[in-house]
Amino acid sequence: MEKPISSSPSSDFISVYSNLPNLLENVRCNGEGDENHKPLSLWPGMYHSPVTIALWETRVKMFEIMNDPSNDAPPQTHLLNKTPSQSRMTVLYNFSSDFILREQYRDPWYEVRIGKLLEDLDALAGTISVKHCSDDDFTTRPLLVVTANVDQIVLKRPLSVDRDLKISGSVIWVGRSSIEIQLEVKQAGEEGHPDSDSVALTANFIFVARDSNTGKAAPVNRLSPETEKEILLFEEAERRSILRKRKTGVDKKEYASQELDHLKALLSEGRIFCDMPALADRNSILLRDTRFENSLICQPQQRNIHGRIFGGFLMHRAFELAFSTAYSFAGMRPCFQEVDHVDFLKPVDVGDFLRFKSCVLYTELGNPEHPLINVEVVAHVTRPEIRSSEVSNTFYFTFTVSPEAKGGKYGVAIRNVVPATEEEARRILERKDAKALQGTKRANN
């Protein structure tokens, strides 16, 4: 017998089954609900995954006023001291007992669809940040929280769609108006494997708080870590915040000067491809020849509870294009490893014309048994009426190839990617430097 989704306002544990919450119960034919139910138009989550539905339903029940804030309600001004445990939430996917839920999440290889999971991770991180930001006073207008960036998502081992999955997370650091949430995905191991409690995936999201009326940055509740682990996570996140600020202040001219020799080396092989293609290295390929693109009009069904396009949906679409790009490039099924970084530069609205452009930015071939394919996806909001196109999001994904492909008919033959322009060379260098910085942070941690 299926159990209902738990969604009480104080819930910190959500057990998810495939059955959807009965959002239409007691809703009148004209679409208007009674005092206990919101109109159907205020439930965009019903078009998303059952996990996102459950999380958004929980969030709305915690802060019902967020759907229709009073214009004269005062802003939150009283800051509280909260512990990480006060924001902790857990989501359980009942894959082992729910066939329909398995079908909703499985990919062609009977693993969990990573793109769909990215939606859920973003929804959970957002709900956790809302929970932390609450001043527990329903007479004030609550803060809006938006995804600023994804610091990193790392897949440590494949996720099977046949075994239950659990995501847990909490706030680990706060600044003045920014919040870092860390999520961990665990899945029971196969029989005979003792690693049932090991972490299969980690994710770090950065959210920023905004005043719901003015849209300006707003201060958030303070965080008081209690345990030794919480203190360590807070200190590590503080160091990451300092590094992010330093990175935004880097002088681009000085950087270009320091890396001039490296730029020239990158461009030299690209010029051979352009000027003397018959003499070019057959184990290399121009970056521009790895490109793919798709586009869409953003629909109302893709919005979040604040009326804008759900960040998790954007990550989902970007991941699937990146996967296809890596698949076509490698000639064999790629294995996702990590989301290196995601910047949410501009909000995306319903009705926007969105274009996703991908390319293999570079490859790492030092270990032939474990080649890495680094894919960049850039999302552009295009407005033909005013001849405008702006970058809304940038995504960086890392893939390797599936282990079984190594013994296949053609074996592993991943090409080196070379730039044809200085702008492409700069993008490669900047991304490699960012990856090296991430590796340093991981080693220090």
Cα–Cα separations (whole angstroms), residue 63 to 27, 35, 69, 78, 86: 20, 15, 10, 17, 16
Structural domains for the chain: 13-247 (3.10.129.10), 250-444 (3.10.129.10)
The angle, 0 to 180 degrees and rounded to 10, between the axes of the packed helices 114-133 and 50-62 is: 10
What does the pLDDT read at residue 111? Answer: 93
Question: Residue-wise over 124-135: b if at least 16 C-beta within 10 A, else e?
Answer: bbbbbbbbbbbb
**Angle value at C-alpha 363, between 429 and 185, nearest 5 degrees:** 100
Q: Which DSSP letter does residue 277 get? A: G
Alpha helices by DSSP H, listed for 293-421, are 311-330
Q: Mean pLDDT of residues grouped by 10 in the chain (445 residues)?
A: 44 70 44 47 58 78 55 75 94 92 91 94 93 79 86 92 94 95 88 64 94 85 94 92 68 54 77 80 90 93 82 93 96 92 88 95 88 95 90 94 60 83 88 74 54
Nearest in space to 376 (alpha carbons), one of 437, 326, 332: 326
What does the pLDDT read at residue 410? Answer: 53
Q: pTM of the predicted model, to two decimals?
A: 0.82
What does the pLDDT read at residue 244? Answer: 74
What does the pLDDT read at residue 393? Answer: 93
Distance of CA 58 to the CA centre of its chain: 20
Q: Which residues contact 314 (CB under 8 A, 6 or more apart)?
A: 348, 379, 392, 393
Question: Residue-wise over 350-371: b if at least 16 C-beta within 10 A, else e?
Answer: eebebebbbbbbbbbeeeeeeb
C-alpha 63/C-alpha 68 separation (Å) is 10
**Strand 416-418 vs strand 284-286: parallel, antiparallel, or unpaired?**
parallel
List the beta strands (DSSP E) in 165-291. 165-174, 178-187, 199-210, 222-223, 284-286
What does the pLDDT read at residue 89? Answer: 94
Phi-psi region of 293 (alpha: psi -120 to 50; beta: other; left: phi over 0): beta
